[in-house]
Amino acid sequence: MKTTVRTLSAAVLIAAMASGLGACSNLSHQDKATLTGAAVGGVAGNVLTNGSAAGTVGGAAVGGVIGHEVGKKK
């Protein structure tokens, strides 16, 4: 039961953050990719570490770096 609630909460948080990024229309593609990566990484870090603040921040940092690199123009 706890796992289901946590998974549902994570999914709702991801959806809310993704829709919130739509308001950032003046950001570059790379900036949007960085923010999206940080959001997804933060949620993943939170879920994987059972709500640890350090896991959430670490996941957001790693996700932001990955999103930044993926969003680079080639």
Task: Give 3-33 pLDDT, tens digit per residue.
Answer: 677 777 777 777 777 776 666 678 888 888 9
Distance CA 8, CA 30 (A): 28
2 and 29 Cβ atoms separated by less than 8 Å: no
What the block records as the tokens of 70 is 């993926």
Distance CA 64, CA 58 (A): 10
What the block records as the tokens of 12 is 């709702």
Q: Which pLDDT tens digit goes with each residue over 46-61?
A: 889 988 889 888 999 9
Sign of CA dihedral 57, 6, 66, 28: negative
Query: How far, in whole angstroms, is CA 47 from its chain's centroid?
Result: 12
pTM for the whole structure: 0.67
